[in-house]
Structure 1
Amino acid sequence: MSSSTSAPTASSQPVWLVTGASSGLGLAVAIEAAKTATVVALGRDQHGLEVAAKAGCRTVQLDLRASADHISTVLADVVKTAGRVDVLVNAAGYILEGAVEETSEQELEDIFTTNVFAPIRLARAVLPHMRQRGSGVIFNVAGIGGFSGSPNAGAYCSSKAALATLTEALQRETGPLGVRVCLVQLGHFRTSFLKAGHRLHTSHHIADYDPVLEPLRKAFNGLNGQQPGDPVKAAKALVDIVGWGIDKIPMLLALGSDVPAAELSAHEAKRKAMLTHEKITNSTDLEA
């Protein structure tokens, strides 16, 4: 869980801090933002960070499963080195396949640490500086998986749902202080997300679940490499949106044409389920 940074130099350009910059959307955002800003790219994979470095990014190798104190120390060094952080993009995340019962305590802790706790820790690290300046932008990337609990991906879906809810609270808390927090609901994008090495599986296997989960495993296999979203276009959209100015940055941004239908479908299913037993629901209040 060590960290290493490139040479320190303060910059007059806007400073972006991007997690998950070793691959996928994070790498695409780092490369696009580096065209007009100073970018500090965080990632666990050194090879991916070399790609970001060639694009002009400063790099910090950091495992987001590190302790909160370690992340705070690394971020303090980043702020000291770069002078400030104007934009934080929490793009890091991964999927863990398996039934809820198959998921070990360590696997559950690891995915929540990466997908939920790390983004909040990073936000806590930069917010004092943003509050002091009365300006700053944070993008928290949740996604289509958080709209409902999918079999074979319960840990992932619940982590993204948790990040979305925390983000909604954070944006209401920081908005009056001049800090804009945007919840990015990401659709299916053609990245390495579902490839071997990125797509993890629970170490424990329970055969009873195979008839339930096997169709989902095959669906994931079929989706890999066929996702409709272009990560380069998504990255450009985020960079362009920052140029609109803080007051015009949306609090909720769907990236991917598959997102609105997925979220509306999830909401409609819950609405129908809730109203099915409306008589029982309304019978539980105290008598006037």
Structure 2
Amino acid sequence: MASTSDFKRVWFVTGAARGIGARIVDAALAQGDAVVATSRDASTLEQRFGAQPGLLAVALDVTSEAQSAAAVTAALGRFGRIDVLVNNAGFGLLGAVEEASADEVRRLYETNVFGLLNVTRAVLPAMRARRSGHVINISSLGGYRSGAGFGVYCSTKFAVEGLTEALHAELQPLGIHATVVEPGYFRTEFLEGSSLVVSPRIVDDYAPTAGQVREAAKRISLNQPGDPLRLAQAMLALVESATPPLRLPLGTDTLQTIRDKHAFVERETETWEQLSASTDFPKGT
């Protein structure tokens, strides 16, 4: 078995059995790094990656704080350190905000937000002890601009963005980086049933908005413009950087989304500036 000193980096990747997570694991292993790959079912990881000296497959339901702590303990027991945490586990919810049930919303937050927090809290003590590490949280173009049909999902990614901004400020003095990665539409299985829940309730009034998005998702699935293999290579470049960014948009669609939102916010702020500024106490009081 290879020793821990044989590996330049040790990655801990959640949601590693398919999609973006699996591509990141492949890329890290291919360049000789060690990877702790996690999924709810460890057998899917073994089938996907096979046995490799640098791979530790661990069963992990991120919604369990106890399982998160146990997975990190196993990772440190095997490799002695975690250099890069990739919080990738998550799923989508398609439907208008009103169409989503309380249970659907709760389950989405349990994985996309509370699960991310469980794993991050478990990993950070070891990173702080070494004064080294990189926390990478996978968001979305929907974490920068929300839209009809994906409002609840986008709200979880807005939470991920806010958490990462705070982590960036809190961890930087400790020598630890934090980056939120914002992929656009990449050609993975995300819009298929395994990663996307579609609210069964349909309100006819939302047919022109969220309803149109429901139909568009069917057409887009497996025809997305982004190349997940190139995304994985971008992740390798990200962790190589001595000064990684707080935000890393990936895909021309995300870049355009950011530009469009900035322009919208600028126009609206200018239009309402007088009313916005009128709420301060008068100067001198």
Alignment TM-score, normalising by the size of structure 2: 0.90
Find the partner of 2:138 among 138, 141, 145.
141
Query: Which of 50, 60, 80 is the aligned partner of 1:62?
Result: 60
Structure-2 change in CA distance of 1:250 and 1:286 (3 Å): closer
- Partners in 1 of 2:148 and 2:231 — Cα distance? 27
Matched letter for residue 35 of structure 2: V
Displacement of 1:168 after TM fit?
Answer: 0.8
Distance of 1:77 and 1:194 partners within structure 2: 32
Equivalence for 1:4: none
Local SS of the residue matching 2:11: strand
Aligned counterpart for 2:169 among listed residues 164, 168, 172 = 172
Equivalent residues in 2 for 1:220-231 (5 A)?
A: 220-231=217-228
Query: Structure 1 52/177 Cα, relative in aligned 2: closer, same or farther at 3 Å?
Result: farther
* Poorly superposed stretches of 4+, deviation over 6 Å: none
Q: Which residue of 1 aligns with 2:276?
A: 281
Alignment of 1:68-83 (within 5 A): 68-83=65-80
Counterpart of 2:23 in structure 1 is: 28
Where do 1:158-237 residues align within 5 Å? 158-237=155-234
Contact kept, 8 Å, 2:141 with 2:257, in 1: the verdict is yes
Task: Note the C-alpha offset of 1:103.
Answer: 1.5
1:15 aligns with 2:13: no
| Residue in structure 1 matched with residue 126 of structure 2 by the alignment | 129
Structure 2 unaligned segments of length 5 or more: list them.
none
SS at match of 1:150: coil
Q: What are the ranges of 5 or more consecutive residues in structure 1 without an aligned counterpart?
A: 1-7
C-alpha distance in structure 2 between counterparts of 1:241 and 1:214, whole Å: 37
Tell me how far 1:162 sits from its aligned partner: 0.9
Conserved in 1, the CA contact under 8 Å of 2:145 and 2:257? no
- Aligned 8 A contact 1:185 1:252 in 2: yes
How high is the sequence identity, in percent, across the aligned residues? 36
Aligned amino acid, residue 207 of structure 1: D
Measure how far apart 1:161 and its partner are.
1.0
TM-superposed CA distance for 1:163, in Å, is 0.2
